[in-house]
Structure 1
Amino acid sequence: MLSPLKAYENNYICRTDPKDVARVESKTWMVTPDKYETVTHTPAGVEPIMGHWMSPETLSTELDSRFPGCMAGRIMYVIPFSMGPVGGPLSKIGVELTDSNYVVLSMRIMTRVCPEVWDALGNNDFVRCIHSVGLPRPVKQRVINHWPCNPERVLIAHRPAEREIWSFGSGYGGNSLLGKKCFALRIASNIAKDEGWMAEHMLIMGVTRPNGK
């Protein structure tokens, strides 16, 4: 999956399946009992364009048709991660289950992954993230660039009240690194509503020059 770039130190290139290179809004859903918790009211026959809603009953059917046995033959990784400094007063914790080693490596870059997350979590609540590339072994189809995925069956579903994210069929970062938009924007928006703060699609970054200034 990873090939070293010999002109640079500690740099690698990862090539993907050309069918799995972007987020798929059409297959991304918010799951709530009340449709209008997720989308706006529209006239009969007009689909809302500001979101995609799925009922809990439909989600249950969709998950049952995808996830049983989906990690067969693969390693399941458990990733404890913190959005923000571990133990910080504004930080939120998630745990992602995945069968993708690419996701493990990338989550270590994009979030704070370390044993101390378990200590910070204690008995508190956390966001539950479940991801699978959706291609159990033995694989019976061609895998392009050693990049397992199942683009025809992609599903990304969010259950805000339960603080759950389910992702199937894609290894692309926006669909599989569930601390990103799935948690930090969609689920966090619902946590923020409950707790009285606001989730923003932004990053606060500090840069220090080599001279320390």
Structure 2
Amino acid sequence: TFICTKDKYKTVPHVHEGVQGTLGRWISPEDMEKHSQDRFPGCMAGRMMYVIPYSMGPIGSPLSKYGVQLTDSNYVVLCMRIMTRVSPKVFEIIKKSGKFVRCVHSVGLPRPHKDKVVNHWPCNPEKTLIAHIPDQRLILSFGSG
């Protein structure tokens, strides 16, 4: 998982050059854009897209955080139903406040498959990318099942 910000040292702990930190992995907005453009265009082709309006906390609570997730994974839909409160009422709250987290997720395997299917669980482990972009209130997830 990467955290994408303009300033590395406001994001992750300072470590010596050449040392891989364990508390956060930083990526620049420019590099994130390259990685995203390499993965996302066309990645959901032939798949069902799901739109998930969710609340982390009781819907209507001043402490709750709201988001909308786009995904091509029915497994992610079911997991979001377990972990969050999924409801169309979230759209009403977002419309009033304008504040919400945008999440885009894809298993990264458009259909029809061009290569032989080796693993019958839809994912793309060779190109997996998960990134939090706090300045844009955006989470990108590619290749995870």
TM-score by length of 2: 0.93
Q: Which amino acid aligns with 1:96?
A: Q
Change (3 A) 1:138 1:41: same
Deviation for aligned residue 1:106: 1.8
Please give the per-residue CA displacement for 1:1-58, whole angstroms capped at 9, x wherever unaligned: xxxxxxxxxxxxxxxxxxxxxxxxxxx1000101112222223333323210000000
Structure with bigger RCO (C-alpha 8 Å, 6+ apart): 2
CA distance in 1, matches of 2:129, 2:17: 26
The one of 97, 106, 109 aligned to 1:135: 109
Q: Which amino acid aligns with 1:86?
A: I
> Where do 1:45-56 residues align within 5 Å?
45-56=18-29
Once the two structures are aligned, what percentage of the paired residues are identical?
62
Aligned to 1:159: 133
Deviation for aligned residue 1:166: 0.2
CA distance in 1, matches of 2:125, 2:7: 29
Alignment length (residue pairs): 143
Deviation for aligned residue 1:118: 1.2
Change (3 A) 1:143 1:96: farther
Whether 1:95 and 2:68 are equivalent positions in the alignment is yes
Deviating beyond 6 angstroms after TM superposition, the runs of 4 or more aligned structure 1 residues are none
Aligned to 1:84: 57
CA distance in 2, matches of 1:120, 1:143: 43
CA RMSD of aligned residues (A): 1.2
Q: Which amino acid aligns with 1:141?
A: K
Please give the per-residue CA displacement for 1:76-122, whole angstroms capped at 9, x wherever unaligned: 11100000011111111000000011111221121111111112222
Whether 1:104 and 2:77 are equivalent positions in the alignment is yes
Gaps of 5+ in 1: 1-27, 172-213
Whether 1:67 and 2:40 are equivalent positions in the alignment is yes
Q: Which has the higher strand share?
A: 2
Deviation for aligned residue 1:161: 1.3
TM-score by length of 1: 0.64
Whether 1:169 and 2:121 are equivalent positions in the alignment is no
SS of alignment partner, residue 144 of structure 1: coil
CA distance in 1, matches of 2:25, 2:130: 11
Change (3 A) 1:34 1:115: same
CA distance in 2, matches of 1:154, 1:44: 25
The one of 43, 65, 89 aligned to 1:116: 89
Deviation for aligned residue 1:143: 4.9
CA distance in 2, matches of 1:52, 1:33: 13
